Amino acid sequence: MWEREWVSQKNVETLKYRFDGPEDAPVLVIGPSLGTTWHMWDRQMPELAQHWRVFRYDLPGHGGAPAHPATGIGDLADRLLATLDSLGVQRFGYAGCSIGGAIGTELALRHPDRVASLALVAASPRFGSADEFRQRGVIVRTNGLEPMARTAPEAWFTPGFVAAQPAIVEWAVQMVRTTDPGCYIAACEALAAFDIRTELGRITVPTLVLVGAEDQVTGPAEARTLVAGIPDARLALVPGASHLAPVEQPGAVTDLLLTHFSTAWQDTLGPIPVPPAVPALSVHFAPVAEIAPAAVVPEATAAAGQDRYERGIKVRREVLGDAHVDGALAASDAFTEDFEDLLTRYTWGEVWNREGLDRRTRSCVTLTALVASGRLESLAADTRAALRNGLTPDEIKEVLLQSAVYCGMPAAGAAFAIARGVIQEVTRPPA
């Protein structure tokens, strides 16, 4: 066994890692879950390291790894590849749990020539809703990681295991407590943006989808979605296990991984051709009939407008949340739909998309402008947005104090009452 952290050769952050197993064996890469370290796989190592050179890594800010927050799942995949490249590892098997599984699917989609075989543990093509993970980030930013640590046992393990194995449960909770909060929040943001439901058919490597039968986080339903979408996928349901099945049922998980990687791993040392990015059509299609002349709209202008709307709806959802945006769109009718389109394209697709100010600063400006104009009917939604954009309650307080001096005490006093109610609701730790 040896472990080390490498400095990137290509301006890409690399990851803290360790090796176990024979130096001349094929490489098996294993990825952790959010809030855990490579030690979540300790109970698989005695068996796996007999057959493979097992490479384990820690997520940024986890397990003492350097706290360089990632910008997304793709960024984590790039960091992992940069680390493997620095070691001369080209082709490998990959197993990952939860966010570690998301990284594995990203590798299989973008670098199918590198991944020989894939195992997805407690994974999903989309992890809950974006709102859930951004809300988790708000709670951590306000209260630290203690609320996440306190609720980890019920999310990760079955009640019977929690009662029977308190020492292991406490060890798992300590992994959360020692995680860097900024990196944890960044990982939540990465999971909020992750959605490969329409891309599953492009994963071409042999895939094992392994899930605890009692997993309430990414359970059998999500596993079956993966199996239905990935052409060469098999489902393994582990009884008596929840989200961290490798910890809770180590023997069953080890046996399944041994079987999968021993039988599905083919041509592990030689390269395989990378499939073309866009497959050629086997049949040429032509329109059957032309119903009416197309509207005279310059193609580039129409495309630009559509792109602006798509950018806008994405940013609008990220800032205000799916529930708020869905409610606004559902309430729209023939009279207001053009206004909703204008709002989405120009407020969110243009101004909120500009690079001159970050979203935290834009939230400060927005809150101040609402107080100054007396438009407090929007303050609750924009206070929620400010929290999602990374402002802390103390920073929102400072914005409102500044507004009180320059915009007037009565408006600021009303704003404080509204913001306090929102902050108490949104930042309340889970019970």
Domain check: are 222 and 314 in the same one?
no
Determine the average pLDDT of the residues in 122-139.
Answer: 90
Check whether 286 has a pLDDT greater than 80: no
Which pLDDT value is given to residue 171?
94
C-alpha to C-alpha distance for 209 and 126, rounded to whole angstroms: 14
Tokens representing 244 are: 């961290």
Helix axis angle, 322-331 to 299-320, nearest 10°:
120
Domain check: are 315 and 241 in the same one?
no
Domain assignment present for 287: no
Domain check: are 307 and 245 in the same one?
no
Domain assignment present for 359: yes
Question: In which band, very low, low, confident or very high, does the pLDDT at 59 lie, cut at 50, 70 and 90?
Answer: very high
Domain assignment present for 431: no
Domain assignment present for 338: yes
Domain check: are 250 and 348 in the same one?
no
Mean pLDDT of the chain: 87
C-alpha to C-alpha distance for 258 and 45, rounded to whole angstroms: 11
Domain check: are 46 and 101 in the same one?
yes
Count of structural domains within the chain: 2
Domain check: are 59 and 139 in the same one?
yes
Cα angle 327, 328, 333; round to 5: 110
384: domain CATH number? Answer: 1.20.1290.10
Closest CA to 259 of 226, 239, 236, 228: 236
C-alpha to C-alpha distance for 168 and 166, rounded to whole angstroms: 6
Strands 16-20, 53-57: pairing kind: antiparallel
Domain assignment present for 294: no
pLDDT digits (tens, 9 = 90+) for 224-279: 999 999 999 999 999 999 999 999 999 999 999 999 999 866 443 333 333 333 33
Sheet architecture: strand order including 233-238: 2-5, 16-20, 53-57, 27-31, 92-97, 115-121, 207-212, 233-238
Within 13 A of 220's CA, how many CA atoms are on the CB side? 9
Name the helix (H) or strand (E) containing 18. strand 16-20
Which pLDDT value is given to residue 355?
83
Tokens representing 114 are: 């590198």
* pTM of the full structure: 0.77
- How much of the chain, in percent, has pLDDT values that exceed 70? 87
Cα angle 141, 144, 150; round to 5: 130
Tokens representing 248 are: 């809770």
pLDDT digits (tens, 9 = 90+) for 413-426: 999 999 999 999 88
pLDDT digits (tens, 9 = 90+) for 171-223: 999 999 999 999 999 999 999 999 999 999 999 999 999 999 999 999 999 99
**Domain range for 174:** 2-264
Check whether 282 has a pLDDT greater than 60: no
Domain assignment present for 285: no
- Burial of 378 (C-beta count, 10 Å sphere; 0-12/13-18/19+): middle
Domain check: are 36 and 164 in the same one?
yes
Amino acid at 273: P
Domain assignment present for 288: no
Which pLDDT value is given to residue 305?
62
Domain assignment present for 117: yes
